[in-house]
Amino acid sequence: ASFPLLCFRSALLTPLIFGLLLQAPCTQPSTITQPNFVLLLADDLGIGDVGCYGNDTIRTPNIDRLAKEGVKLTQHIAAAPLCTPSRAAFLTGRYPLRSGMDATNDYRVIFWNAGSGGLPPNETTFAKILQHQGYSTGLIGKWHQGVNCESRNDHCHHPLKHGFDYFYGMPFTLISDCEPTETPEMDRAFRRKLWLSTQVIGLIALTAVLGRLTGLISVHWKTLTCLAGFSLLFFISWFSSYGFVRYWNCIMMRNHGITEQPMVMNRTTSLILRESISFIERNKHKPFLLFLSFLHSHTPLLTTEKFLGRSRHGLYGDNVEEMDWMVGQVLDAIDKEGLKDGTLVYFASDHGGWLERQEGERQLGGWNGIYKGGKAMGGWEGGIRVPGIFRWPGVLPAGRVIDEPTSLMDIYPTVVHLAGGTVPQDRVIDGRDLLPLLRGAAARSEHEFLFHYCGVHLHAVRWHQKDTGAVWKAHYVTPIFRPPGAGACYDRGFCPCFGEGVTHHEPPLLFELSQDPSEAKPLSADTEPLFDTVIRKIGRAIEEHRRTLTPVPEQLSVANVVWKPWLQPCCGTFPFCWCDKEDDN
């Protein structure tokens, strides 16, 4: 009687055991699949502008939904407080000065499409690695990493040379000069000086001519002709670039071709959204990477009529709420195609909100919550602490909040690892794979030290003391706020990195961020027993970090950022550059 019973049990257990052996372990789905990646990066968005980070007046239900369904990082740090260097670090997983994408001068971002600086061709972006892993890779929106090196069409810095199969968007960045009704934003103070110099030179030339005609001054006509010629040449030398910023910088491209020059602002949002959804639909049957690099919420705050006047924070709030709606449309497209469970979605901002950006009574920049400082400030938290949200249903726990220090540079090794690739072994990669931390397999961030640069100048260092959980931060250089106590550099519009506009601290200002995230109460040797120990520890880390740095060509040197007419992207015959191929379509 026992033999038939044994056979019966075996008949039941065998398929069960076989099925369990075949089933992939539910705790390790990332090892058996290549997820899709949708990376959403806002422009100039402050951490205090988002509902799930404490804002209760600007409505961001779709971003908040991502946080509810995924993992929210509360100490997510940009590698630089400005667009160009921060995005270079994001794309390469390396501090921007390692690739030459941070500046020794005041020109800390790429200023012209016709400059020769940009992300060097020898840098390996995560898109390039994913391309080799069989992914379709697309960039929609803002690039701001340069275009050309030596000729108008060499496109040495172009997204398609850096691992993206498809590009639609701005090779530059959105600026107020793109909107004819707005006050010019680009190099505003320098332009005022050029206008004043032109008027002074012109006035001198006119005075000399009148003096010669009335006999009050004895000057040869040849001298007067030279003076007048110099006045005209001086005017042409700068007005040929600054007088046509909208045509030179405010252009839209599809792959290598220009589609709008200048861009037509009232349809840009709908085109970017359409291109993003179309990319998802075209590539739904194979692994894809979509990097949606928003033009929101950078000035001039491009906002469609549907969202104007909807928020309680003026045009800036309207713009953020429209961006949140765009996030929702992209998430809906992922759901519609049945891709939700196989797609890792990431949302962040490239750096903190721009506190000084105002026009009269209008505040056009973002809010950084409880954190001191903002955009362009390399050390203070408000310039570099940004939203950071990951969602991957079934893999990452929903509703998880992580207070550990993380970096935008961490996206690089995280994405590369999940795609089945390997990070380059011939260079320093500063990012760390976030997956163990996101999934709860690791309790602490792999970052012990994070270095906070302003240009190439080291302003502050963060030490994550893993045994205690303390996060110490030492400031060696801080900007001088004007008016005093105002919390920003309202006299300049941007805080500087060096010179008379900064204060050097010896000993450095020290804060313990887990106790004082607003950096309101600097510690001293009298108030903190560990002060000297912490400062020595950070000092040794700086020495070790600097030993890993090697000299590289400076991409943001004055010679590289100036406008060069022979490098200007042009959809006609230079200088007659204008077209609207979207309207033709």
Residue pair 189/493 in contact by the 8 Å Cβ criterion: yes
Looking at 408-530, list the stretches that DSSP marks H as alpha helix, in order from N- to C-terminal side: 411-418, 435-439
CA proximity to 310, closest of 296, 324, 298: 324
| 289 CA to centre of own chain | 18
Neighbours of 501 (CB within 10 A): 17
Q: Would you state the torsion angle of the CA atoms of residues 380, 295, 103, 503, taken in this order, to the nearest 10 degrees?
A: -20
Neighbours of 242 (CB within 10 A): 17
CA proximity to 131, closest of 171, 97, 79, 167: 167
Largest CA distance in the chain: 135
DSSP state of 157: T
Q: What is the 3-state secondary structure (H, E, C) of 74-124?
A: EEEECCCCCHHHHHHHHHHCCCHHHCCCCCCCCCCCCCCCCCCCCCCCCCC
Contacts 24+ apart (CB under 8 A), 322-327: 322/269, 322/296, 323/42, 323/45, 323/294, 323/296, 323/297, 324/59, 324/60, 324/61, 324/62, 324/63, 325/62, 326/269, 326/272, 326/273, 326/294, 326/296, 327/40, 327/62, 327/63, 327/66
Compute the distance between CA of residue 399 and CA of residue 391 in angstroms, rounded to an integer: 10
| 242 CA to centre of own chain | 24
Structure tokens at 116: 């020769």
The verdict on whether omega for the bond into residue 387 sits within 30 degrees of 0, i.e. cis, is no
| Residue listed under structure tokens 């953020």 | 320
| Residue listed under structure tokens 């839209």 | 252
Compute the distance between CA of residue 223 and CA of residue 8 in angstroms, rounded to an integer: 113
| Main-chain dihedrals φ then ψ at residue 74, nearest 5 degrees | -100, -10
> Hey, which residues are catalytic here?
83, 144
Q: Round to the nearest angstrom and report the end-to-end CA distance of the chain.
A: 81
Kindly write down the DSSP assignment for every residue of 207-221, as one continuous string: HHHHHHHHTSS---H
H or E segment to which residue 203 belongs: helix 188-214
Compute the distance between CA of residue 364 and CA of residue 292 in angstroms, rounded to an integer: 23
Strands (DSSP E) contained in 480-526 are 502-512
Q: Which residues contact 439 (CB under 8 A, 6 or more apart)?
A: 395, 396, 397
